[in-house]
Structure 1
């Protein structure tokens, strides 16, 4: 009976800790590192602020955990999307899959990843080590994607693959600063991003796997050419 009671208490404690983290991610993604206060986190979590200290020693420890979890989750999500692909899919299409998985996760699914993306540069030095390690692991996923595409001859030969990779990831991350649902659907954004990436980095002989769903334009009809009147 004591073991069962202990298990229930542990489960309740785990749920409370997760609720605090969820609320911290929500606040951090909107107010940033400097503006995130424990009172705001507690209010969102429907707790008394002192209760947070039972789970986290300080505001900084809580924020650090949110940042680390955010980086871990985006990496796991993209890897899962890539692992679900057929083994014979082209490397360039694996990049396009990663583009979609990244955008949908940071913009629709996860407050944690939005918080991590927006605040990575704001962390004090002593809080960066764990977050940087997770960011490096995620960067390695993208590095492998671009290395494979280059080896397959699917990237433009004059590109710096490393610079191209960082530009693509930077553009994807920046969407958290400007995109919202009033600017169009996430589906349209994904298609646009994939099209830009495909057109910008793929070798000329590499054909796109993206289906164009835009309405077909009516064919232009050429006006009949008038015969010149020849005068004597």
Structure 2
């Protein structure tokens, strides 16, 4: 049997369990080790790409022996596929959670700006999984992308709804196509993972610039005028 064969993995798990921790502790320990492997794989994949990712590098990052990975994943590609799907799932869930927590009266453009912040925060500061996903989507073989593509489709629908709400509210610039604008915004957000250097530009600078471009690039003149009026009225109240 090869090291990655399911029967071989089961046998090694059983052998490793003899005289080890109590049975009721094994699932939590196993889960923690699996998560550590996934975290390490996401870290390596986000930096070295699909072609450059090796199980030895992942094992070193996880502080494990390379054969131990086969207890949890049958092959390098199975592990990478899990990382990519996890990345897509976490991006969608994170942005969805941020949007769900907004007040009901949040304007469509403010909801888009909140989604911009949630996406960039996860991509640039919080998650190697998100960075690995964004940097490697175009490199993955098609047969490894089934679950990832399903998550990406759900995430794309989330953004389409945001832009459709802006359009239906009459706040999207009339010379813009909502779908094209949405795809351009997502493309720009994803590309930030490639060019951003925290030694040159702070995360806050990137976020502030992205939100300003979105707000002033998408909003109709009437909305910008309304916002300017609200700002002026707030300034008047504070100084009176």
Look up the match of 2:148: 131
| Counterpart Cα distance in 1 of 2:52 and 2:91 | 24
* TM-score of the aligned structures, taking structure 1 as reference length: 0.87
| Correspondence 1:202 to 2:219 | yes
Unaligned runs of 5+ in 2: 1-20, 232-240
1:79 corresponds to which of 96, 108, 120? 96
Look up the match of 1:22: 39
Greater C-alpha Rg? 1
Unaligned runs of 5+ in 1: 213-232
Structure with the higher helix share, 1 or 2: 2
1:112 corresponds to which of 119, 124, 129? 129
On the 8 A contact 1:93/1:209 being kept in 2, the answer is no
The C-alpha deviation readout for 1:122-180, integer Å capped at 9, x for no partner, is 11011111110011111111011001010001111121111100000000000000102
Alignment length, in residue pairs?
209
After TM superposition, the runs of 4+ consecutive aligned structure 1 residues lying more than 4 A away are: none
Higher mean alpha-carbon deviation, 197-206 vs 163-172, is at: 197-206
Look up the match of 1:11: 28
* SS, match of residue 97 in structure 2: helix
* SS, match of residue 156 in structure 1: coil
The C-alpha deviation readout for 1:33-86, integer Å capped at 9, x for no partner, is 000000000000000000000100000000000000001001111111111110
| Counterpart Cα distance in 1 of 2:227 and 2:139 | 38
* SS, match of residue 173 in structure 2: coil
RMSD over aligned Cα, in angstroms? 1.7
Look up the match of 2:172: 155
Look up the match of 1:47: 64
* TM-score of the aligned structures, taking structure 2 as reference length: 0.84
Look up the match of 2:5: none
* SS, match of residue 182 in structure 1: coil
